[in-house]
């Protein structure tokens, strides 16, 4: 097996120069660096990662704590994180906190004890123990998807990467209102998550824009899971004046809502229309095809890696929050015709509603 000394002889440089190229501990002239890299390639030299970490105090590894097993949305984010990390020469250690505050702190501690260079974490609804641990140990961390804006009791501040939530949800609601719906139900996410609060705010903003009143009974928490959405959808359908349109606040809850609608023999969009926050791979295969807000999942993962590596390079720079835009994916579950969903955008006259359900009608 070739050694670092073999690489140095082949490149005509010192062992120290090879070390500087591998560990990036000192600038090396471009032609010298290339000679070392060519020698590494020719000899098939494999660096000793453990030895390198002792020299640089870095393991070139990132810890990722997201509930990817229980939430399919995070699977695509994970793919984005992994691809971006590997592209930059970092390995990935993954743990699933199951959205449980105590388990969350434990898995993050385990990742930290594995000497990862930094962490990317999607925090739970009650991240106090997690954030206290990260702050106490000064762990370079990027909070992903769920942010801690407005929390003055958290120190130090953390970098955050998330999608826009409020305006996209408002667009869904105003789109439905523009089709004549006056009673729009929301199956909301888990209380305490920033995504839940922002999407509820967007729902209210959309109602206000459309001149519709907010009614507490039309917002029921589905707790960001399929089973919770089943209960929430059943509650909404049992109202004396049930909604004629439903918005589900994540993809898992969309599945739960559809399950209840099917069990009750209700057809989408003929009996009730449905729009969802979170597009997913098979949304286009449903009949009808689901109108949705698509989050840039992989881009969020890649951006979190980029922000974390910038933090590692510049530990003293101010913390920041990066928000990425979402896209309105116009299909037919909102009641628009196939040709309209292909050609139109929300809020345009191209989205002509089908014959009106009870509770629908021109807005006053």
The pLDDT tens digits of the residues spanning 119-158 come to 999 999 999 999 999 999 999 999 999 988 655 455 568 9
Fold assignment, 166-295+326-343: Rossmann fold (3.40.50)
4-56 CATH pick, 1.10.8.190, 1.10.260.40, 3.30.540.10, 3.40.50.300: 1.10.260.40
- CA dist 187 and 167 (Å) reads 17
Q: Residues of CATH 1.10.260.40 domain(s) within the chain?
A: 4-56
Q: Residues of CATH 3.40.50.2300 domain(s) within the chain?
A: 61-163+297-324, 166-295+326-343
61-163+297-324 CATH pick, 3.30.390.10, 3.40.50.2300, 2.60.40.1930, 1.10.10.1150: 3.40.50.2300
Q: What is the pLDDT of residues 189-208, one digit of tens each?
A: 999 999 999 999 999 999 99
Residue 14 CB partners (closer than 8 Å, separation 6+): 8
- Residue 280: the pLDDT is 79
Q: How confident is the model at residue 19 (pLDDT cuts 50, 70, 90)?
A: confident
DSSP output for 59-103: --EEEEE--TTT-THHHHHHHHHHHHHHHTT-EEEEE--TT-HHH
> What value does the mean pLDDT take over residues 26-50?
83
| Residues 103 and 97: beta-carbon distance below 8 Å | yes
User: What is the pTM (predicted TM-score) of this model?
Assistant: 0.79
Residue in the structure block whose two tokens are 């997690």? 130
């Amino acid at each position: 097996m070739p050694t670092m000394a073999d690489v140095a002889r082949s490149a005509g440089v010192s062992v120290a120069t090879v070390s500087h190229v591998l560990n990036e501990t000192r600038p090396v002239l471009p032609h010298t660096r290339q000679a070392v890299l060519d020698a590494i390639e020719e000899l098939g030299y494999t660096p000793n990662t453990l030895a390198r970490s002792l020299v640089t105090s870095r393991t070139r590894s990132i810890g990722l704590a997201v509930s990817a097993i229980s939430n399919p949305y995070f699977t695509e984010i994970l793919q984005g994180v992994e691809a971006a990390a590997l592209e930059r020469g970092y390995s990935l250690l993954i743990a699933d906190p199951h959205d449980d505050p105590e388990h969350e702190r434990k898995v993050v501690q385990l990742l930290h004890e594995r000497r990862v260079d930094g962490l990317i974490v999607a925090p739970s609804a009650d991240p106090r123990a997690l954030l206290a641990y990260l702050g106490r140990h000064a762990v370079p961390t990027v909070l992903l998807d769920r942010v801690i804006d407005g929390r003055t009791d958290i120190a130090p501040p953390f970098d955050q990467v998330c999608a826009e939530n409020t305006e996209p949800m408002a667009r869904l609601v105003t789109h439905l209102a523009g089709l004549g719906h006056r009673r729009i139900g929301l199956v909301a996410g888990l209380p305490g998550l920033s995504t839940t609060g922002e999407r509820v705010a967007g729902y209210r903003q959309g109602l206000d824009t459309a001149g519709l009143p907010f009614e507490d009974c039309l917002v029921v928490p589905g707790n960001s899971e399929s089973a919770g959405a089943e209960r929430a959808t059943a509650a909404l359908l049992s109202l004396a004046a049930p909604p004629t349109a439903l918005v589900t606040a994540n993809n898992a809850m969309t599945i739960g809502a559809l399950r209840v609608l099917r069990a009750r023999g209700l057809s989408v969009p003929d009996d009730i229309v449905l729009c969802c926050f979170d597009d997913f791979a098979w949304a286009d295969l449903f009949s009808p095809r689901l109108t949705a807000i698509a989050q840039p999942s992989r881009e969020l993962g890649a951006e979190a890696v980029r922000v974390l590596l910038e933090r590692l390079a510049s530990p003293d720079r101010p913390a920041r929050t990066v928000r990425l835009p979402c896209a309105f994916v116009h299909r037919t579950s909102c009641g628009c015709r196939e040709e309209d969903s292909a050609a139109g955008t929300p809020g345009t006259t191209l989205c002509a509603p089908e014959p009106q359900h009870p509770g629908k009608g021109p807005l006053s």
